[in-house]
Amino acid sequence: MTSPSEMGFVFENFVFLLLKTRLAHGLSSLHFWRTKDKAEVDFIVERGKDIIPIEVKYKYLKKEEVPRSLRSFIERYSPPEAYIINLNLSTDLKIGDTKLVFIPYYDLLSRRL
C-alpha cells in the first residue's frame, strides 16, 4: 500500500514529466527554487526574461490555498503568472500583479504555460 507522502512524490514526478515533455521543443527551461532557509517552489519555468513558478499539490482542494514558499516567491519576484497544479480545483486569484492559476493536473496538457 502506498502512503500519502509517497503518492505526493509520485504525483510531483508525473507533473515534472508532463512539464518536461511540453517544454522539450520550445525555448523554455525547467528549474527548481530553494532558499537557504529551505523554502522551495517545485518548478520554475524560465521563458526568456519571464519566470513562472509552479507548485504541485497532491490534494483535492475546496478553496484556494497558497503555500508560504510560493507566496514568498511571488512577493519577491512578481512573476506575471504562477500555477498550483492539484487534483481538482480550477480557479484564479491575484497576488499583487501576479495571476495565480489553480489548475487540475488533467488540464495541464491542454493549457499553455
Among 8, 15, 6, which Cα is nearest to 107's? 15
Q: Which residues contact 51 (CB under 8 A, 6 or more apart)?
A: 44, 45, 77, 79
Q: Is residue 87 part of a domain?
A: yes
Q: What is the pLDDT of residue 102?
A: 97
C-alpha span between 23 and 35 (Å, rounded): 25
Tell me the sheet residues that pair with 104. Answer: 86
Tell me the CA distances in angstroms from 46 to 2, 32, 50, 56, 64, one per residue in order: 33, 10, 6, 17, 25
Q: Is residue 113 part of a domain?
A: no
Q: Is residue 112 part of a domain?
A: no
Which domain covers residue 46, as residue numbers?
A: 4-107
User: Total domain count for the chain?
Assistant: 1
Q: Is residue 65 part of a domain?
A: yes
Q: What is the pLDDT of residue 1?
A: 67
Print pLDDT tens along the chain (113 aa): 677 779 999 999 999 999 988 887 777 889 988 888 888 999 999 988 899 999 999 999 999 999 999 999 999 999 999 999 999 999 999 999 999 999 999 998 777 76
Q: What is the pLDDT of residue 26?
A: 77
Q: What is the pLDDT of residue 100?
A: 98
> What is the domain-level CATH number for residue 95?
3.40.91.50
Among 4, 78, 83, 1, which Cα is nearest to 42's? 83
3-state secondary structure of 53: strand
Location of C-alpha cell 498550483: 84
